[in-house]
Amino acid sequence: MKAMIALEELIQEEEASLKLVKKQLAGHESGENKLSHMVLASSESHLEEVTERLEIHHAKLDEFKKLDLQELEKKEKLQEAIKRKNYYDLQKVRLKRDVTASNDEKIEAMLIIDELPEDIGIEDKQLFEVAAQSLKLNIKLHEDLYDELVEIKKEFDDLLKDLNDNDIKDMQMLNYQIPIVILHFSTLISNIKENREEKGLAEFHGLPKYEDWWITELWQSHQAYFGLYKWREIISNTCITTEQKKAWNIISSNWISIKKTISNKGMLAFKYNYAFDTVMRSHCELEEELATTSLDTMKRLVVALTEKENFTKNSLNMPIITPYVLFKRKQLKYQDIKGRK
């Protein structure tokens, strides 16, 4: 900015003038160079004026610098937006040229891009991960699975339609991932049931309930990690084939990752989390433990089982009734009353 450059030069001149006046006054006070009364008064008056002007000009320069910085930030943001737009505009070209992905993955990834809303961008790596998961179940090749995915997506979208955009804008990528994870979950359960029936094994009575504090306390409490580990192990033991166990390892990891991501958003994501849980219950019969007595019993059991381990934190005071559990209880109670009318 030209004005800022001119102001900086003016400040330099004023500082030089101020230095000279101070030197004259210092000489007068030491007796080295005595000034007449008129010159002394003029010098003191000039000192005040220059000091005042310098303060004003320094303040103005600071304003200019802030404005200049803001303009720079705006320019950088604009350049970043253009860069991201170009990145996504050329995404299909990059996917076609990617030598690390198979042709099937490339096709699936491009189909996924076409299904996504225009304002949602997904990095190439994430896109291939979703495409790979989709291909494992041959979603496009099995009409019944594809129909179920459409149904799951519709149910989930319907539950999200009344949510405030500000509550979920950071989780839009999950809007596509969640229906796929639910479909994977549902397909695995159906497969386990069929295999157990074919082999004449004990009937599969559904998935054990999980507890919300396992999610909220994950990475902070080893009891939460242990609870999730045992829950996953119980379900893994119902799997018949090695492929089912491998699938369960991937599916459960994805489910936990999504739940933890949502949980980290706190109260803002309660309704979003409830929508996810509702569709999971509908298609996978997966439910969360809400009864305080059962929650307390499980907490004490987990603590007792981990007491012998050499951990630094062993406490009965971890919160088992999380804020989300209270929210979920109210929602279910409301739905129950609504259903009776």
Q: What is the DSSP string of 188-231?
A: HHHHHHHHHHHTTPPPP--PPPB-HHHHHTTTT-HHHHHHHHHH
Judge whether residue 279 has pLDDT over 90. Answer: yes
Across 262-291, average pLDDT: 87
Distance, in Å, from the CA atom of 261 to the CA atom of 217, rounded to the nearest integer, reads 13
Query: Minimal CA–CA distance to 182: which of 230, 254, 120, 270?
Result: 254
Eight-state DSSP code of residue 169:
G
Distance, in Å, from the CA atom of 82 to the CA atom of 141, rounded to the nearest integer, reads 37
In a 3-state reduction of DSSP, which class is residue 288? strand
Q: In the structure, what pLDDT confidence band is assigned to residue 104 with cuts at 50, 70 and 90?
A: low
**Residue 152, amino acid:** I
Distance, in Å, from the CA atom of 124 to the CA atom of 132, rounded to the nearest integer, reads 12
Q: Which range among 3-7, 44-48, 213-217, 311-315 shows the weakest confidence by mean pLDDT?
A: 311-315
* E strand or H helix that includes residue 236: helix 222-238
Angle at 112 between CA 111 and CA 115, to 5 degrees: 90
Distance, in Å, from the CA atom of 158 to the CA atom of 153, rounded to the nearest integer, reads 8
Q: What percent of the chain has pLDDT over 90?
A: 5
> Hey, what are 33's tokens?
């160079």
Q: Give the pLDDT of residue 155.
A: 92
Q: Give the pLDDT of residue 139.
A: 47
In a 3-state reduction of DSSP, which class is residue 121? coil
Query: How confident is the prediction for the chain on average, in pLDDT?
Result: 75
Judge whether residue 125 has pLDDT over 70. Answer: no
Distance, in Å, from the CA atom of 244 to the CA atom of 251, rounded to the nearest integer, reads 10
Cβ atoms of 262 and 171 closer than 8 Å: yes
Across 5-14, average pLDDT: 75
Instruction: For residue 288, list its beta bridge partners.
Output: 210
**Radius of gyration of the chain, Cα coordinates, nearest whole angstrom:** 33
Q: For residue 287, what are the contacts with CB-CB under 8 A and spacing of at least 6?
A: 207, 209, 281
Distance, in Å, from the CA atom of 337 to the CA atom of 142, rounded to the nearest integer, reads 39
pTM over 0.75: no
* Most confident region among 116-125, 252-261, 294-303, 314-323 by mean pLDDT: 252-261
Q: Give the pLDDT of residue 103.
A: 64
In a 3-state reduction of DSSP, which class is residue 91? helix
Distance, in Å, from the CA atom of 93 to the CA atom of 50, rounded to the nearest integer, reads 64
> Hey, what are 272's tokens?
């979003």
What length is written for the chain? 341
Distance, in Å, from the CA atom of 266 to the CA atom of 278, rounded to the nearest integer, reads 18
